[in-house]
Amino acid sequence: GENVEQHPSTLSVQEGDSAVIKCTYSDSASNYFPWYKQELGKRPQLIIDIRSNVGEKKDQRIAVTLNKTAKHFSLHITETQPEDSAVYFCAASNPGANNLFFGTGTRLTVIP
């Protein structure tokens, strides 16, 4: 089955700096890669997703890049703000699977 690895497990940045979280996946058939943000005590919420026919996708201060050859994808957050502090999860799925395979999460702390 699919195996998703996520790094780093914790990340601290100064407010205004950029943050990058990286994930690798094992199944070359995976074609859908969402990112979720989970604030303390809250539900995971989808913040951005990308499909395998696209190399990059942006939504305001967040972007995701996908390298199918290397089987890795990354979340980029620019101009970080304290409200970006949360745990971020990457995930992957392929047409043969009905569910998402999640990474173990990255705790991002933005220092004011």
Q: Which is nearer to other proteins, 50 or 110 (CB)?
A: 50
Cβ at position 84, least distance to other proteins in Å: 19
Residue 104 engages other proteins in binding (rule: CB under 8 A): yes
| Alpha carbons 76 and 100: distance in angstroms, whole number | 21
CA gap 80, 19 in Å, rounded: 7
Among 51, 54, 55, 67, binds other proteins (CB under 8 A): 51
Q: Which of 8, 12, 17, 42 binds other proteins (CB under 8 A)?
A: 42
What are the phi and psi torsion angles at 37 (to 5°)?
-115, 130
**Chosen residue from 13, 49, 71, 78 binding other proteins by CB under 8 A:** 49
